[in-house]
Amino acid sequence: MTDTTALRPAALDRARVLQWLQNYGVYAGVVALIVVNIAVTPHFLSAENFRTQAVQVAPVIIVALGMALAIGTEGIDLSVGAVMALSASVLALYLGYGLLPALLVVAFFAAAVGLANGALVAFVGVQPIVATLALMVAGRGIALVLLPQLEDIRNPAMASLGSGALFGVPYLMLIAAALALAVAFVVRRTTFGRQLLAIGDNRTAAQLAGLPVRRVLTLVYVGCALLAAVAGVLATARLQASDPTSLGTLMELSAITAVVVGGTPLSGGRVRIAGTVAGAVLIQLLTATLIKHDLPPSWTQIAQAVVIVLAVYAARGRGKR
C-alpha cells in the first residue's frame, strides 16, 4: 500500500520548484548565461559587446511588449514582423519630406494594420491567429510592393538615432526601456490595463460586467502594431538601410518566445512586463553565445526550441490571475 503521507512532501517540493521557476526562472537563466559568458567568452564584459547586445535586443523587447498585451487578452499577433517591414518601406519612401512627416505616415500605416487586426478579432469574431496571419502575409506583400528591394537610408537624424548613445547607453536601449516602463504603467496602473486583464481572464464575464471589450481589443492590436512600427524604425536606423525582404522575418516567433519565457501565460489574464524584457534578453544572450562560439545558426534555433519547451513545462498549472 502506498504511503500517501510520505509522497505529499515530495509533491509539495516539486510544486514549490515549479512555482519558483514560473516566477524567477527567466531571471536565473539570464544570470546563468552572463556567468557562463564571463567565464568562457573573450571580451564579454567589454563596452563594445554591451553596446552590440543592447542595440540588437532593443527591437525584440519593443515588439515583445506589444505581443505581451495581445497574449494578455488570450490573443496573439503574427503580423508584427510584417509591420516592421512595412514601416521600413514607408519610412524610406517618405523620408525625403522630413523625418517627422515620415514617422507620422509610418504610424498611420501601422495603426491601419492594427485596426484591421482588432476589427477582425473584436467585431467579426475571427480567431486572432487567423486574423493576424492574414495581415502577416498581406503586410509583407504591401511592403514589397512599395519598396521591392533594399534601399540605403541617408539621413543624419536617423544615423544619430541608430548609432548614438547617452552616457554610453545606446538610444535604442533607452527607448526600449522607456516603452517598457510605459507599458508596465498602463497594465498595472490604468483602467485600460485592468480591463485588458479582465478580458483575458474571462471575456464572457467581462462582457456581462459591461466592460468595453471590443474597444479594448481593438486598441490592444493597434498598440501592438504601433510598437512593431517603432521597432521597425529603430532597426532601420541601426542598419541605415530599409530592407522589407528580410526585416522582421521571424520576429513574431522571437517576441512570442520572450513573452512565454518571461512568464505570461498563453491563456491570458496576466501580463509580466519585466519577465518579457528578461525573456528577450535571455534569447539574445543565448543566440549571441552560440554565435560567438562558432556554432551554426541551426543550433540557435534548436536552443530556442528547448527554451520554449522548458518554459511551457514550467508554466503547467499557472492559472489566470
Amino acid making up residue 247: L
Amino acid making up residue 47: A
Residue scoring higher pLDDT (21 or 174) = 174
Residue 266: how many CB atoms within 10 A of its CB?
A: 14
**Residue 267, pLDDT score:** 87
Per-residue pLDDT band at 44 (split at 50, 70, 90): confident
- Report in angstroms the alpha-carbon separations of 116 from 10, 27, 50, 104, 133: 50, 36, 38, 18, 12
pTM of the model: 0.91
Pair 82, 250: CB distance under 8 Å: no
Burial class (CB in 10 A: 0-12, 13-18, 19+), 134: middle
**Residue 251, pLDDT score:** 92
Residue scoring higher pLDDT (54 or 318) = 54
Per-residue pLDDT band at 5 (split at 50, 70, 90): low
Q: What is the pLDDT of residues 106-140, one digit of tens each?
A: 999 999 999 999 999 999 999 999 999 999 999 99
**Residue 152, pLDDT score:** 87
Pair 288, 40: CB distance under 8 Å: no
Per-residue pLDDT band at 9 (split at 50, 70, 90): low
